[in-house]
Amino acid sequence: MRKWTVPAVLFLLCLLFLLPDQGRKIHANAEVDADAPVDPPKVEEKIGAVPNGLSTDSDVVKREAESMSRRTLRATAEKFEFQAEVSRLMDIIINSLYSNKDIFLRELISNASDALDKIRFLSLTDKEILGEGDTAKLEIQIKLDKEKKILSIRDRGIGMTKEDLVKNLGTIAKSGTSAFVEKMQTSGDLNLIGQFGVGFYSVYLVADYVEVISKHNDDKQYVWESNADGAFAISEDVWNEPLGRGTEIRLHFRDEAQEYLNESKLKELVKKYSEFINFPIYLWASKEVDVEVPADEEDSSDEDEKPESSSSEEEEEDTEKEEDEKKPKTKKAKETTYEWELLNDVKAIWLRNPKEVTDEEYTKFYHSLAKDFSEEKPLAWSHFTAEGDVEFKAVLFVPPKAPHDLYESYYNTNKSNLKLYVRRVFISDEFDELLPKYLSFLKGLVDSDTLPLNVSREMLQQHSSLRTIKKKLIRKALDMIRKIAEEDPDEANDKEKKDVDESNESDEKKGQYTKFWNEFGKSIKLGIIEDAANRNRLAKLLRFETTKSDGKLTSLDQYISRMKPGQKDIFYITGTSKEQLEKSPFLERLTKKNYEVIFFTDPVDEYLMQYLMDYEDKKFQNVSKEGLKIGKDSKDKELKESFKDLTKWWKGTLASENVDDVKISNRLANTPCVVVTSKYGWSANMERIMQSQTLSDSSKQAYMRGKRVLEINPRHPIIKELRERVVKDPEGESVKQTAHLMYQTALMESGFMLNDPKDFASRIYDSVKSSLHISPDAAIEEEEDAEEAEVESSTKEGSGEDAEEAEPSSVKDEL
């Protein structure tokens, strides 16, 4: 015990001496700290912070810096070759002289928005899928690194698995890839890239090396990288900070793309292209703020030098000076800080009052919604709110041009251009139940407060409210299209045109409906076929050329207004072109009597007229079919009686041709005869359309072919002469030949295809012989056999000589 006592006492004495000094030092330090200026709080600069405020360690920072500075593929990564069409697309983009490179940012933001839409929709039925903390924030972040020339775009969307990265960004070309390449080669407009689903590859307009870091809830975090040399690589991400969930795209800019390292340029692009994205877009932006910094001695001495003042003022200054001496002397200075700046704070346009939204805003919203960034405005739009049992808000647009694949696989694809929102939450853009197929060209969105939010897409499709929404949307859509026609000065009648001219209306809407019809007219015709409930309303939108329209489009209402007194039917004719139809023999008498006839030249018109039977109590009459009535002729009965023997004889002669009847015609003026079909059978044009079908069955078509009737012109000299010859010699071979030849010629002129073209050609040649007074039995001069023999012998000799000449050379070769 005594051994440890002395050291313990010495140790206690040392502590007693040290404690006062330490206390004085602490007190002194506290005073110094009190006088020192307080550093402003630092803003966290991490773009992809780990949830719950975790900070990265030094190793992660080091690895991330190495990752961001590299421009070559990682050696340990798994390498893949780009699919051929993707490589072709990238070659076009990389070597493009396209001046508008701005589109890359709008495409990446659009893709990020789609990814956020998907995860938000999935979270409706599974809230845990969003995660916690920062990971649950549905937003888009953009960050610049000017020193390393890198732009990062980050979203907390659904993310991509390794398989998704391979499929979506390289090996499997989407259907739009080849379509876009073809469009690019014809028009050269790279601005259309977003409409084909391949917008990601626009990054190579500005970057020569791209990294895509992505984390899906069902997989690890991976890095996709490519420097556009025909290959890409994917590896598990051990370099970068964990994303939690989502995707970050890093663009390593080319030297000629340095303008995009400017914050103001990025703000301008987001404002221009992505203002109406439904998720917040943040930019890591610099900002100058005023901060208090320690004042220099020179500044403090300047403050001390003040002009003389009264004694009272001096006393006040002395007291203030004493107070100031207690506080540290500071001054204000500018300091650059960084913070997340929100770039798109515009309220959703469909939630605003239509009267408060400008035309320019509607146009910008359409471009954002349709991914159509051409300079053309939409042809029309309709912004409305529906109230009642089902409440919803909607905005519909008529695009200026039809999509490239609008009518490809029309009945086999469920393609809709309407986005469905439920209480501002995006649900889907694949609801073809919202609009019928024939209106699928319309762009827009519907936001309903009535539909349930937390149900599956399949259950939502069966919801009864959708039928009500669809009905109202169709009515509004058709009203919007009708309004284009009403506001178009070219569509007005003569009286209305004068009023329009007097009102000095701008030419902006002139010709708009013609433009609409040229792009989407086929859709209106398909609507008449498919939508019986709105058939009459759609019929008002029909446009066509007629014998009196002078090359301009006209409507059914305008046609009816020009009908002759007593005319009960609307006359039309179908064919392949207007030029062909203008020369048709079926129009001869009608044009002579000043009747107007509609030209239908689109193949779909034949199907259309099977459904459009009447309009405004007027029946439609195909002038190439039976049943045409053009007033009454007092001599009809006499003519029928006088040509009774000829028509009877001709019908018997054509028994083998399946001719149902031979009649006197009331539609011909200059042509001797034509062939018409029965009222409910196929016309000649329809027969040709059906025969050209790839999978047509000729055996079944026989049931639909109309009965053929030969109509003759009793006033034509050929018909009169034939009648006389039949009376003299009804069994004469030449008369029968003439009757057959005239029928076959009438078939061709009426638009039918001949079953036996060889027989027709033979009859023509016989007729030519007769006109040249050549005997029908005149033989064709045959070639002499001797000449053929000489030719054969000469060829044999020639081949023998060649063989002899070839033999020595082959021997030489062998030696």
pLDDT value, residue 513? 94
Q: Are 476 and 379 contained in the same domain?
A: yes
- 762 neighbors 699 (Cβ within 8 angstroms): no
810 is in an annotated binding site: no
The closest alpha carbon to 737, from 764, 719, 697, belongs to: 764
pLDDT value, residue 783? 80
Q: Are 277 and 354 contained in the same domain?
A: no
From 440, 458, 487, the end of a domain falls on 487
504 is in an annotated binding site: no
DSSP structural state of residue 56: P
Residue 553 φ/ψ region, left for φ over 0, alpha for ψ in the -120 to 50 degree band, beta for the rest: beta
pLDDT in tens, 357-413: 999 999 988 988 887 777 789 999 999 999 888 889 999 999 999 887 788 777 766
pLDDT in tens, 176-207: 555 555 655 555 554 545 444 567 888 888 89
Residues whose CB is less than 8 angstroms from the CB of residue 245 and which lie 6 or more positions away in sequence, other chains included? 119, 131, 135, 156, 157, 158, 159, 215, 216, 217
Q: What percent of the chain has pLDDT over 70?
A: 73
Q: Are 252 and 171 contained in the same domain?
A: yes
200 is in an annotated binding site: yes
Q: What is the mean pLDDT of residues 36-50?
A: 38
Q: Are 113 and 237 contained in the same domain?
A: yes
Q: Are 374 and 234 contained in the same domain?
A: no
Instruction: Tell me which residue has tokens 């008002």.
Output: 540
Q: Are 403 and 269 contained in the same domain?
A: no
Pseudo-torsion of CA 179, 180, 186, 190, nearest 10°? 170
pLDDT in tens, 604-643: 999 999 999 999 999 999 999 998 988 776 677 888 889 9
- 689 neighbors 606 (Cβ within 8 angstroms): yes
- 173 neighbors 197 (Cβ within 8 angstroms): no
- 11 neighbors 18 (Cβ within 8 angstroms): no
- 809 neighbors 815 (Cβ within 8 angstroms): no
523 is in an annotated binding site: no
- 593 neighbors 631 (Cβ within 8 angstroms): yes
pLDDT mean across residues, the chain: 79
456 is in an annotated binding site: no
Q: Are 275 and 374 contained in the same domain?
A: no
Confidence of residue 442 (pLDDT cuts 50, 70, 90): very high
589 is in an annotated binding site: no
In a domain, 652, yes or no: no
CATH number at residue 471: 3.30.230.80
CB 410: neighbour CB atoms within 10 A?
Answer: 15
CATH number at residue 92: 3.30.565.10
Distant-in-sequence contacts of 614-618, Cβ < 8 A, 24+ apart: 615/536, 615/539, 615/556, 615/560, 615/570, 616/556, 616/557, 616/560, 618/560, 618/563, 618/568, 618/569, 618/570
H and E: helices and strands count for the chain: 27, 22
Residues whose CB is less than 8 angstroms from the CB of residue 192 and which lie 6 or more positions away in sequence, other chains included? 180, 183, 184, 372, 374
Q: Work out how many domains the chain is built from and give that number.
A: 2
In a domain, 423, yes or no: yes
In a domain, 182, yes or no: yes
| 344 has a pLDDT exceeding 60 | yes
Q: What range does the domain containing 447 cover?
A: 349-487
554 is in an annotated binding site: no
195 is in an annotated binding site: yes
| 38 has a pLDDT exceeding 60 | no
Q: Are 134 and 276 contained in the same domain?
A: yes
From 268, 284, 300, the end of a domain falls on 284
pLDDT in tens, 138-147: 999 999 999 9
From 284, 317, 332, the end of a domain falls on 284
In a domain, 181, yes or no: yes
198 is in an annotated binding site: yes
185 is in an annotated binding site: no
| 336 has a pLDDT exceeding 60 | yes
pLDDT value, residue 389? 81
In a domain, 577, yes or no: no
135 is in an annotated binding site: no
652 is in an annotated binding site: no
Q: Are 379 and 240 contained in the same domain?
A: no
pLDDT value, residue 493? 61
In a domain, 92, yes or no: yes
Indicate the pTM of the whole model. 0.68
Q: Are 277 and 355 contained in the same domain?
A: no
- 85 neighbors 182 (Cβ within 8 angstroms): no
In a domain, 12, yes or no: no
Q: Are 95 and 217 contained in the same domain?
A: yes
In a domain, 448, yes or no: yes
DSSP structural state of residue 682: B
Q: Are 157 and 266 contained in the same domain?
A: yes
196 is in an annotated binding site: yes
For residue 616, give the H/E element and its range.
Answer: none
527 is in an annotated binding site: no
Q: What is the mean pLDDT of residues 581-592?
A: 94
Instruction: Tell me which residue has tokens 């079953």.
Output: 755
